[in-house]
Amino acid sequence: MGTHYRNFKTVVYIPAQIAEKFTAQKLESDYEFLEKYIGLDKVYLESHRGDCDVSNEQLLMIKSFLEQKGVTVSGGITTIIEDFDGAEKGKRRLFNTLCYTDPAMRLRIKEISENTARLFDEVILDDFYFTNCTCERCIREKGDRDWVTFRRDLMKDVSKNLIVEPAKAVNPGVKMVIKYPNWRESYHYTGYLPDVQSDIFDATYIGTETRSPAYADQHLPEYLSYSLVRFMDNAWPGRCGGGWFDTYQCWSVDRYLEQAYLTAFARAKELMHFQWSDLIDNPFVCAMGLQLGKIDKMLDDVSIPSGIPVYIPHTSAGENHFEMRLGMIGLPTEPTPTFPKNASKLILTETAAGDPDIVDKLAKFVQNGGDAVITTGFLRVKQEELIQSGLTESRPTGKKYAVTRYHITGDEAGYIENKSPVLFPELVHCNNASWSLLNGGDGDLHTSIFLRSAYGKGRLYIMSVPENDADIYKLPTAVTDVYKRTLLCEDIDTYISGRNCSMFAYDDGSMVFYRYVKDDLKPDHVRLHTNKKASILKNVTTGRTYPVHEIRFNEDFEEVTEYVADAVLIPGVFDLYRWE
pLDDT tens-digit map of 231-276: 999 999 999 999 999 999 999 999 999 999 999 999 999 999 999 9
Q: Is 364 exposed, middle or buried (0-12, 13-18, 19+ CB in 10 A)?
A: middle
Give the residues across from 178 on adjacent strands: 125, 204
Give the residues across from 550 on adjacent strands: 563
Beta strands 42-50 and 52-53 are antiparallel
| Dmax (CA) of the chain | 77
Distance from first CA to last CA of the chain, Å, rounded? 29
Among 306, 509, 292, 555, CA closest to 410 = 555
Domains of the chain as residue ranges with CATH: 9-300 (3.20.20.80), 306-487 (3.40.50.880), 493-580 (2.60.40)
Angle between helices 283-299 and 253-265 (to 10 degrees): 30
Half-sphere exposure of 86 (CA within 13 A, CB side): 7
With bands split at pLDDT 50, 70 and 90, how would you rate the model's confidence at 213? confident
Among 450, 113, 483, CA closest to 308 = 483
Residues with Cβ within 8 Å of residue 440, at least 6 apart in sequence = 401, 403, 405, 406, 407, 422, 424, 446, 447, 449, 464
Residues with Cβ within 8 Å of residue 512, at least 6 apart in sequence = 265, 298, 302, 503, 504, 506, 574, 575, 576, 577
Contact 418, 445 (CB under 8 A): no
Contact 202, 175 (CB under 8 A): yes
Helix or strand or coil: residue 50?
Answer: strand
3-class secondary structure per residue, 495-559: EEECCCEEEEEECCCCEEEEECCCCCCCCEEEEEEECCCCCEEEECCCCCEEECEEEEEEECCEE
Q: Please name the amino acid found at residue 527.
A: R
454 has a pLDDT exceeding 80: yes
Q: What is the pLDDT of residues 303-352, one digit of tens each?
A: 999 999 999 999 999 999 999 999 999 999 999 999 999 999 999 999 99
Helix or strand or coil: residue 471?
Answer: helix
Give CA–CA dist 76/179, Å, rounded: 10
Q: What is the pLDDT of residue 87?
A: 86
Q: What Cα–Cα distance (Å) separates residue 555 from each residue in 386, 450, 527, 574? A: 26, 15, 19, 33
76 has a pLDDT exceeding 80: yes
With bands split at pLDDT 50, 70 and 90, how would you rate the model's confidence at 382? very high
Q: What is the pLDDT of residue 507?
A: 95
Looking at the chain, how many residues does it have?
580
In whole numbers, what is the pLDDT of the chain averaged over residues?
A: 95
100 has a pLDDT exceeding 70: yes
Q: What is the pLDDT of residue 556?
A: 65
- For 373-424, the DSSP string reads EEEHHHHHHHHHHHHHHTS---EEEEEEEEE-EEEETT-TT-EE-SPPPEEE
Give CA–CA dist 358/377, Å, rounded: 14
156 has a pLDDT exceeding 70: yes
With bands split at pLDDT 50, 70 and 90, how would you rate the model's confidence at 140? very high
Q: What is the pLDDT of residue 552?
A: 84
Helix or strand or coil: residue 60?
Answer: helix
Q: What is the pLDDT of residues 384-400, one digit of tens each?
A: 999 999 999 999 999 99
555 has a pLDDT exceeding 80: no
Give CA–CA dist 516/498, Å, rounded: 12
Contact 438, 408 (CB under 8 A): yes
With bands split at pLDDT 50, 70 and 90, how would you rate the model's confidence at 219? confident
Contact 218, 228 (CB under 8 A): no
CB atoms within 10 A of CB 141: 14
Helix or strand or coil: residue 53?
Answer: strand
Cis peptide before 383 (omega within 30 of 0): no
Among 252, 467, 251, 478, CA closest to 375 = 467
| Portion of the chain with pLDDT greater than 70, in percent | 99
Q: What is the pLDDT of residue 457?
A: 97
Q: What is the pLDDT of residue 557?
A: 62
Q: What is the pLDDT of residue 234?
A: 98
Q: What Cα–Cα distance (Å) separates residue 452 from each residue in 75, 111, 294, 374? A: 53, 58, 43, 10
Give CA–CA dist 171/173, Å, rounded: 5
412 has a pLDDT exceeding 80: yes
Taking 3-state DSSP, the helix, strand and coil percentages for the chain, each rounded to the nearest 5, stand at 35, 30, 35
